[in-house]
């Protein structure tokens, strides 16, 4: 028996070493943690239970039978983060470059199945050179198995992908299906085709970092939601993200203890809107005042900056915020902003997270570039997502709400539960000047002083329409409120809506304009 116990101990030590001490040292030289070190920093101390430590690949071609490493390049199992169950897989670049084999894929699929059955989030720590070419179609089949399970898990459990090294070719599609992607600056990259192929086909000379690094995907493509300075920051972001989410689609996000101060007024909000309606301000200042202190976690911060999305807490409860950003492009909706907003709204709706919409939008961005790149379809994505959402939905119009963008930004007409407006709100088909030029075109053209007449008619239109009271008279705005009362109103409103139930028509699923 002692021999058998020793054999077990030896095998465990062998598996823990992965590709060996030299390759572990090489990993550290690149500024990267090992697969097991990442799990150590992610999970609560002592909570990790490994599954599949002794799995071996089955390939017998190209002398692969002589290269057997226990675990086969991925560490899988479960544990807790802040006491909550999660499942995790962590690819080991020290073993065949983290390449995916048939058995490597089977290990990942096994814990994906467990995560779905037991209703707990799945975290993928990706660091892989791609498909293991020695295995051919078996490796490709393994990727497809993972993609299918990612899709089946979508909307059932939260799925988070951290890219902590290479992620190329077919490997990118699993993270792309998951809910959130995090990347590490300078040590991770994602692309379908690498720099060498790009140069051969298109004659472009580009580095891996410029083609698919964290900065490229957080600022240009919008593929990644968070760009992190190092792996520890990335892991901390994962933990923070999880704190806003429920375990699964039938659960609600955890509430945190809220110490009521006795005074929820935020008088600074009375002065946040500039006197000049065309002057910008930072919508984050509004978010900071209405959310619990230091609770706002912005998502996609560096992409489509004319809209702000992220998680926050109001009175300890998790909410999702989608807000126009007047400080960038005047807060207009364009292709990227619409896609960014729609994706975030759908995540919140999947996982029972109430939605707060903050509106200051002059309309959709005009121009051939926008039209030719599908502003109609992309704008409809955001519209569809908000129409479809059945979670509590609350809207606050701070300033402009013009044209079709007023409808799209969670108006009463598309199912918002409560709509508030500040006295500074302007709810109209278009801006006063443009409206006056159309409505009073003849009078202006015939006037001796055209500029004076245009100003007169602009002021007339402003007085009549550029305010929240016509909408309030129709019930499209439930209440016009003082800015300083916004936080208190939201606390009470979300509390009132916490047991909201919506019965939707029976169907397989809708057909969102993708």
CA 57 – CA 50 distance, rounded (Å): 18
Catalytic-residue membership of 510: no
Give the phi and the psi of residue 354 in degrees, each rounded to 5. Answer: -55, 155
CB 447 within 8 A of CB 504: no
- Tokens for 125, please give them: 């720590």
Residue 404 bears catalytic tag? yes
Question: Is the Cβ–Cβ distance between 191 and 211 less than 8 Å?
Answer: yes
Joined tokens for residue 454? 């245009």
Task: Report which secondary-structure segment, H or E, holds 222.
Answer: none
Decide if 176 is catalytic. no
Q: Which two tokens stand for residue 422?
A: 């500040």
CA angle in degrees (0–180, nearest 5) for 438-440-442: 100
Conformational region of residue 503, where left means phi above 0, alpha means psi within -120 to 50, and beta covers everything else: beta
For 267-300, letters b (16+ CB in 10 Å) and e give eebeebbeeeeeeebebbebbbbbbbeebbbbbb
Distance CA 414, CA 39 (A): 43
Token duo for residue 299? 């998502």
DSSP one-letter string for 295-309: --EEESTTSSTTEEE
Catalytic, out of 169, 212, 213, 310: 169
Per the annotation, the verdict on 169 as an active-site residue is: yes
Q: State the catalytic residue, choosing from 79, 124, 130, 170.
A: 170
Strands 180-184 and 297-299 turn out to be unpaired
Q: Where are the alpha helices (DSSP H) in 77-213?
A: 102-118, 137-153, 173-177, 195-202, 208-212
CA–CA separation, 165 vs 185, rounded Å?
10
Q: Pick from 419, 402, 408, 426: which is nearest to 338 by CA?
A: 408
Catalytic residue selected from 404, 415, 434, 447 = 404
Q: Please pick, among 216, 253, 401, 405, the residue that the annotation labels catalytic.
A: 405
> Hey, what's the torsion of the CAs at 15, 92, 22, 209, to 10 degrees?
180
Q: Catalytic residue numbers?
A: 169-170, 404-405
């Amino acid at each position: 028996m002692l021999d058998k116990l020793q054999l077990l101990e030896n095998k465990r030590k062998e598996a823990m070493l992965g590709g060996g001490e030299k390759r572990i040292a090489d990993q550290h030289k690149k500024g990267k943690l090992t697969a097991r070190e990442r799990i150590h920093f992610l999970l609560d101390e002592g909570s990790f239970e490994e599954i599949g430590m002794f799995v071996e690949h089955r390939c017998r071609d190209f002398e692969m039978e002589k290269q057997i490493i226990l675990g086969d390049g991925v560490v899988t199992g479960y544990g807790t983060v802040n006491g909550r169950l999660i499942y995790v897989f962590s690819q080991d670049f020290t073993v065949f470059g983290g390449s995916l084999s048939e058995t490597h894929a089977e290990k990942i699929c096994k814990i994906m199945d467990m995560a779905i059955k037991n209703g707990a989030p799945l975290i993928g720590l990706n660091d892989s050179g791609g498909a293991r070419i020695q295995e051919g179609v078996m490796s490709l089949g393994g990727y497809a198995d993972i993609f299918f399970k990612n899709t089946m898990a979508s909307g059932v459990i939260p799925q988070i992908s951290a890219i902590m090294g290479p992620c190329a070719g077919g490997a990118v599609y699993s993270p792309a299906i998951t809910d959130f992607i995090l990347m590490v600056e300078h040590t991770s990259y994602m692309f379908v085709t690498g720099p060498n192929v790009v140069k051969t086909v298109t004659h472009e000379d580009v580095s891996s970092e410029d083609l698919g690094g964290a900065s490229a995907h957080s600022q240009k493509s919008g593929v990644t939601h968070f760009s992190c300075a190092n792996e520890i920051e990335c892991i901390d972001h994962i933990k923070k993200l999880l704190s806003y989410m429920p375990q699964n689609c039938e659960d609600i996000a955890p509430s945190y203890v809220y110490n009521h101060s006795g005074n929820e007024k935020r008088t600074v909000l009375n002065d946040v809107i500039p006197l000049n309606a065309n002057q910008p301000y930072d919508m984050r200042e509004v978010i900071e005042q209405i959310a619990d202190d230091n609770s706002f976690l912005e998502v996609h911060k560096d992409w489509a900056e004319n809209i702000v999305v992220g998680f926050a807490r109001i009175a300890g409860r998790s909410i999702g915020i989608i807000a126009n950003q007047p400080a960038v492009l005047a807060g207009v909706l364009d292709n990227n902003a619409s896609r960014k907003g729609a994706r975030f709204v759908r995540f919140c709706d999947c996982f029972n997270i109430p939605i707060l919409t903050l509106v200051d939008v002059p309309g959709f961005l005009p121009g051939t570039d926008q039209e030719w790149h599908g502003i109609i379809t992309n704008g409809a994505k955001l519209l569809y997502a908000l129409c479809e959402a059945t979670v509590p939905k609350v809207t606050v119009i701070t300033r402009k709400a013009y044209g079709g963008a007023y409808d799209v930004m969670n108006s009463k007409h598309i199912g918002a539960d409560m709509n508030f407006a500040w006295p500074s709100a302007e709810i109209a088909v278009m801006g006063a000047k443009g409206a006056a030029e159309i409505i009073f075109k003849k009078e202006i053209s015939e006037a001796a002083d055209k500029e004076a007449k245009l100003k007169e008619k602009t002021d007339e239109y402003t007085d009549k329409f550029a305010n929240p009271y016509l909408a309030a008279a129709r019930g499209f705005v439930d209440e016009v409120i003082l800015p300083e009362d916004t936080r208190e109103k939201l606390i009470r409103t979300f509390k009132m809506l916490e047991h909201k139930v919506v019965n939707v028509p029976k169907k397989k699923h809708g057909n969102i304009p993708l």
